[in-house]
């Protein structure tokens, strides 16, 4: 399936996905890691394990970081 991804603040890109792909797959196809971006529907993030059910989505690159140099699991 073809999906148009509107990257908030970053233009649009087209992604081609296999049938049954999830939103996490879509995020990767758009060039991001699922931990660094979220797909939004009506302004709210959708779970990464949900199958893609739209042909046009909005992707938000997340803003996070911190002073600690150690990259452990973070909230």
Partner 1 sequence: MYRSRVFSTVLEFTRAAYDAVVDHARRGEPREVCGVLAGMRGAPDSEDADRAESLVTEALPTENVAERPETRYRIDPEELFAVVESIEGDGLEVVGFYHSHPAGPPRPSETDVARATWTDHSYAICALDGHPFVGSWRWRGTDEGFDREVVAVRSERSDA
Q: Hey, is 45 helix, strand or coil?
A: strand
End-to-end CA distance of the chain: give it in Å, rounded: 33
31: which DSSP letter? T
Range in contact with partner 1 (rule: CB under 8 A) among 13-21, 29-37, 48-56: 29-37
Give whichever of 1 and 54 is closer to partner 1, judged by the CB atom.
54
Task: Tell me how far, at minimum, the Cβ of 43 lies from partner 1, in Å.
Answer: 5
Token output for 27: 């995020």
Is residue 37 within the footprint of partner 1 (CB under 8 A)? yes
The sign one gets for the Cα dihedral 50, 54, 55, 59 is negative
Candidates 3, 26, 29, 38: give the one binding partner 1 (CB under 8 A): 38
Q: Which residues contact partner 1 (rule: CB under 8 A)? A: 8-10, 32, 36-38, 40, 43-45, 60-71, 74-75
């Amino acid at each position: 399936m073809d999906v148009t991804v509107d990257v908030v603040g970053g233009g649009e890109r087209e992604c081609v996905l296999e049938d049954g792909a999830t939103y996490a797959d879509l995020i990767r196809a758009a060039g991001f890691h699922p931990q660094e971006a979220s797909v939004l529907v009506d302004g709210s993030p959708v779970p990464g394990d949900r199958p893609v059910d739209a042909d046009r989505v909005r992707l938000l690159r997340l803003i996070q970081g911190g002073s600690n140099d150690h990259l452990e699991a973070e909230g």
